[in-house]
Amino acid sequence: MERFLKIIVSGLDNAGKTSILTAMDKKYDFEKDIVQLKPTIRIEYHKMNFLTNNAVIWDMGGQETYRDIYVNYQDVYFDATDLLIYVIDIQDPERFDNSLEYLNAILSFFEKSEMSVPIIITFHKYDPELKADIEILANISRLRENILDSYPNFNILFQQSSIYDIISIIQLVSYGLSVFDKKFFQLSELLEYYLEIFQSQALIVFDRNGIIISEYYSDINPETYLELLESIKEHLFLLKRMDEEKFEGNFDFTSTEGQLFSYLLRKKINKEMFFVSAVLKDEQKLNFFEKLPDFLDDLVKILEQLI
């Protein structure tokens, strides 16, 4: 039987929940369903496939009336939750307390019901131009510490996201799904190890839908990072096309700046298609191709267990 994972996206109204899901819909062609439960209650469902899992994502309204309903009928809404993604608008400090209260209502229910639900808290609207904003960064670390202190028994991952930073949205999806299988950690370790060996800036493994299964980046300065984002976006577009056109083979090209060289490789394992993207400096090319077969061998060993 097919198993559907239940993922809940929650947070105050205006936090950006629907925008995050809309950004994902566009990228991954999610199927969308809207269920009108009562005139006042409208929940949007987004369905997606990831490797062997199917997930249903619930977009929970965040207005006060909704919040009251969810809190009063917690078992109806939060029962059997596999993952909670909680969205906090990092540009709205006046509502931090309000948001923490709502988070507390949900987590208290999980605690009371003895549900160990993994949680991802994303500090959203962390737009690219805010990456060096001292106040925003201070608020993020304050909220983070506050939440970690308050809920020592929960497994909480923190993230920053913005709809103007598509990679952060992709990361949110990947982190969300990686919560479900420990092998994703092995994969991440493998990428970290080979990033060093290749002396590369980024190593990313995508599934056939362009969802990042795992990724690793080196410490890079913001300018390089932006350049990297551009080239990866190109990659994502390309691999989608490669899939559509049943194109056979690999792609390699140099980024516009001529500094970084990105390589995209398609790998079929059993019946599943994967894509590997590596971004590195031109002078590391030879070294990369020399060590690539070892990397692919190790990679296949882990991916085989995931499908």
Ligand X SMILES: Nc1nc2c(ncn2[C@@H]2O[C@H](COP(=O)(O)OP(=O)(O)O)[C@@H](O)[C@H]2O)c(=O)[nH]1
Interface residues with ligand X (CB under 6 A) are 11, 13-19, 62, 124-125, 127, 162-164
Tell me whether residue 21 or residue 303 sits nearer to ligand X (CB atom). 21
CA dihedral in degrees (209, 214, 220, 226; nearest 10)?
10
Distance from C-alpha of 12 to C-alpha of 122, rounded to nearest angstrom: 13
Label residue 261 left, alpha or beta by phi (over 0 means left) and psi (-120 to 50 means alpha): beta
Which of Mg ion, ligand X, none does 118 bind, CB closer than 5 to 8 A by kind? none
Tell me whether residue 164 or residue 225 sits nearer to ligand X (CB atom). 164
Tell me whether residue 17 or residue 235 sits nearer to Mg ion (CB atom). 17
Tell me whether residue 174 or residue 262 sits nearer to ligand X (CB atom). 174
Distance from C-alpha of 216 to C-alpha of 134, rounded to nearest angstrom: 25
Which of ligand X, Mg ion, none does 193 bind, CB closer than 5 to 8 A by kind? none
Tell me whether residue 85 or residue 117 sits nearer to ligand X (CB atom). 85
| Locus of tokens 């993020």 | 140
Task: Give min distance, CB of 157 to Mg ion, in A.
Answer: 22
Residue nearest to Mg ion (CB): 18
Task: Give min distance, CB of 227 to ligand X, in A.
Answer: 21
Tell me whether residue 67 or residue 266 sits nearer to ligand X (CB atom). 67
Which of Mg ion, ligand X, none does 266 bind, CB closer than 5 to 8 A by kind? none
Amino acid residing at 2: E
Strands (E) across the chain are located at: 4-11, 31-38, 41-50, 53-59, 83-89, 119-124, 156-161, 202-207, 212-217, 251-254, 260-269, 272-281
Task: Give min distance, CB of 179 to ligand X, in A.
Answer: 21
Which of Mg ion, ligand X, none does 19 bind, CB closer than 5 to 8 A by kind? ligand X
Tell me whether residue 162 or residue 200 sits nearer to ligand X (CB atom). 162
Q: Are 7 and 55 within 8 A, CB to CB?
A: yes
DSSP 3-state assignment of 225? helix
Q: How far is CA 73 from the centre of its chain?
A: 29
Task: Give min distance, CB of 167 to ligand X, in A.
Answer: 13
Distance from C-alpha of 55 to C-alpha of 39, rounded to nearest angstrom: 26
Task: Give min distance, CB of 9 to Mg ion, in A.
Answer: 9
Tell me whether residue 139 or residue 186 sits nearer to ligand X (CB atom). 139
Which of ligand X, Mg ion, none does 15 bind, CB closer than 5 to 8 A by kind? ligand X
Q: How far is CA 114 from the centre of its chain?
A: 26
Distance from C-alpha of 112 to C-alpha of 164, rounded to nearest angstrom: 37
Question: What's the CA angle centered on 102, arms 96 and 107, to 5 degrees?
Answer: 120
Site string (7-36) toward Mg ion, x via CB under 5 A: -----------x------------------
Task: Give min distance, CB of 169 to Mg ion, in A.
Answer: 16
Distance from C-alpha of 164 to C-alpha of 153, rounded to nearest angstrom: 33
Which of ligand X, Mg ion, none does 51 bind, CB closer than 5 to 8 A by kind? none
Task: Give min distance, CB of 139 to ligand X, in A.
Answer: 15
Task: Give min distance, CB of 166 to ligand X, in A.
Answer: 11
Cα distance from N-terminal residue to C-terminal residue, the chain = 16
Which of ligand X, Mg ion, none does 124 bind, CB closer than 5 to 8 A by kind? ligand X
Residues that bind Mg ion (CB under 5 A): 18
